[in-house]
Chain A
Amino acid sequence: MNNQATQCEAFELAALRRTRSALDPAEESRLEAHLRACAPCREFAATLEATSVAMSSHARSATAALDWERVRTGFVARRRAERNQRLRGLGAILLLVGIIGWSLGPAAGATFAALALALIGVGYWRLVRPQLRRAQAVATLNTDMLAFYRADLDQEIRGLKGARQLVVVLALLFALNAIFMLGHVVREQLLGHDFPNVRSYVATFITFALVGGAMWLRGRAVLPRLERERAELGQ
């Protein structure tokens, strides 16, 4: 019985390979002979044939009903919208870096601006265009693409979670620092001195609040979606 099951499995595989004309004449006639003698395999082949025909004709009629011009304008418009979103994001980053640079003075400002631009720019690119990044990654793939897709999503989810945790830690540090600074300001005020560097402190705080807040919100919006995408892929 077990032997029979193994034999039938081989013929089921042969029936599948026949749909892509991957059988040689000898295999083909062995399959024919087996199908004449074996009812379960005949049923397997019949279901295979019927479902293949149904799927093909469904695809054909759905394709015939498509308006290709609408599809075309659709993805062109999407691409434009995505490009505009990216430009707006880059504009916002430049503005923030400008504010901080201005508050720190020319030399320190320029160094800071270059570093911040490089770091935020790379992070932003990865956040805004994960699809494109993945599209580029799958071009060079020579491993199981679904396994790669799973691993890549896992990495993206880990990265996003890590970024959110970093924002929380930085927010705590900022809060501690703010309390310390407040004490400092009160003391200086009592002694009648001016508090130095208020401008740079406020600028750093605003930048952190904006960038950190945006990262936090983006994570909150994107993480559930990524996790569902990951669940869709299964183990």
Chain B
Amino acid sequence: MTSDSGAYETELLLRVRSEATRAAAFDELFIALRKQVFGVCLHITGNTADADDALQETFMAVSAGLPRFRGDSRLSTWVHRIAICAAIRVVSRRRDAADVHDVDPPSRGGDPVLASELAAQIARAMDQLSADHRVVLSLFAVDELSHAQIAEILGIPEGTVWSRLHCARKRLSAVLGSAAP
């Protein structure tokens, strides 16, 4: 869903509110948002297994909470907020298990080897950032999310989104720089 899908989301919300059409509407919501949500979870958690876990937790909560969803925010905003909470929870569980941080990026486009090596470095660097920084970078890594939507998801003004992103970018560069040989 992109920023100009507001009308579609309103229509979907109508179907979510009626019990007869809710299941089909949920399927549509899952198909429409799963890639974006997985992307956000992937960048926050840093590996596909944890992102998969967070993705499942997200849609479990969405399917359980959908009957009570009143449309106080856009559906996609709500789903992304749940995903952020789920991804952070999954990361804290992983730290508990004290697993070695596994990053698994193959790639295509450009130079695949260079891109995947850089993706691995980024995932390790992201792991050292604060949650605020990691979350804003992860949302901006999803091309389909506009900055207005990101501001809406985070519940902060657009100006604050840009300055938080700027801080996060500077931190990421610093960590990447210090990790470079």
Say yes or no: is A22 at the interface (Cβ < 8 Å to chain B): yes
User: Which residue of A57, A66, A224 is within 8 Å of B119 (Cβ)?
Assistant: A57
Contact assessment for A62 and B51 in the assembled complex, using a CB-CB cutoff below 8 Å: yes
Contact assessment for B131 and A139 in the assembled complex, using a CB-CB cutoff below 8 Å: no
User: Which residue of B68, B106, B165 is within 8 Å of A16 (Cβ)?
Assistant: B165
Query: How many angstroms between the C-alpha atoms of A234 and B153 in the bound complex?
Result: 19
Contact assessment for A54 and B122 in the assembled complex, using a CB-CB cutoff below 8 Å: yes
Contact assessment for A135 and B62 in the assembled complex, using a CB-CB cutoff below 8 Å: yes
The size bracket of the interface on A is 35 or more
Q: A71-B55, A139-B65, A141-B155 are in contact. Are A19 and B140 (CB under 8 A)?
A: yes
Say yes or no: is A184 at the interface (Cβ < 8 Å to chain B): no
Query: How many angstroms between the C-alpha atoms of A219 and B119 in the bound complex?
Result: 39
Contact assessment for A50 and B72 in the assembled complex, using a CB-CB cutoff below 8 Å: no
Question: Residue-by-residue, is B58-76 near A (CB-CB < 8 Å gives 1, otherwise 0)?
Answer: 0111111100111011000
Contact assessment for B38 and A138 in the assembled complex, using a CB-CB cutoff below 8 Å: no
Contact assessment for A52 and B131 in the assembled complex, using a CB-CB cutoff below 8 Å: no
The B interface is mostly helix, strand or loop, or mixed, namely: helix
Q: A22-B147, A55-B119 are in contact. Are A146 and B48 (CB under 8 A)?
A: no
Contact assessment for A141 and B35 in the assembled complex, using a CB-CB cutoff below 8 Å: no
User: Which residue of B61, B72, B156 is within 8 Å of A131 (Cβ)?
Assistant: B61
Contact assessment for B91 and A232 in the assembled complex, using a CB-CB cutoff below 8 Å: yes
User: Which residue of B60, B70, B115 is within 8 Å of A78 (Cβ)?
Assistant: B60
Query: How many angstroms between the C-alpha atoms of A135 and B72 in the bound complex?
Result: 13
Chain B residues with Cβ below 8 Å from A140 are 70, 72-73
User: Which residue of A19, A145, A229 is within 8 Å of B81 (Cβ)?
Assistant: A145
Query: How many angstroms between the C-alpha atoms of A184 and B151 in the bound complex?
Result: 67
Chain A residues with Cβ below 8 Å from B123 are 58
CB closest chain-A residue, reference B163? A13
Say yes or no: is A192 at the interface (Cβ < 8 Å to chain B): no
Contact assessment for A58 and B78 in the assembled complex, using a CB-CB cutoff below 8 Å: no
Contact assessment for B141 and A55 in the assembled complex, using a CB-CB cutoff below 8 Å: yes
Contact assessment for A138 and B96 in the assembled complex, using a CB-CB cutoff below 8 Å: no
Say yes or no: is B25 at the interface (Cβ < 8 Å to chain A): no
Q: How far is the CB of B40 from chain A (nearest CB, A)?
A: 9
Contact assessment for B59 and A75 in the assembled complex, using a CB-CB cutoff below 8 Å: yes
Chain A residues with Cβ below 8 Å from B95 are 228, 232
Query: How many angstroms between the C-alpha atoms of A75 and B86 in the bound complex?
Result: 13
Contact assessment for B108 and A141 in the assembled complex, using a CB-CB cutoff below 8 Å: no
Contact assessment for A59 and B169 in the assembled complex, using a CB-CB cutoff below 8 Å: no
User: Which residue of B30, B92, B106 is within 8 Å of A229 (Cβ)?
Assistant: B92
Contact assessment for A143 and B115 in the assembled complex, using a CB-CB cutoff below 8 Å: no
Query: How many angstroms between the C-alpha atoms of A138 and B75 in the bound complex?
Result: 11
User: Which residue of A56, A149, A225 is within 8 Å of B96 (Cβ)?
Assistant: A225
Q: A57-B107, A58-B42, A138-B81 are in contact. Are A78 and B156 (CB under 8 A)?
A: no
Query: How many angstroms between the C-alpha atoms of A93 and B66 in the bound complex?
Result: 27
Query: How many angstroms between the C-alpha atoms of A145 and B73 in the bound complex?
Result: 13
Query: How many angstroms between the C-alpha atoms of A128 and B90 in the bound complex?
Result: 17
Say yes or no: is A79 at the interface (Cβ < 8 Å to chain B): yes
Q: A141-B155, A145-B84 are in contact. Are A59 and B92 (CB under 8 A)?
A: no
Query: How many angstroms between the C-alpha atoms of A134 and B169 in the bound complex?
Result: 29
User: Which residue of B84, B146, B172 is within 8 Å of A51 (Cβ)?
Assistant: B172
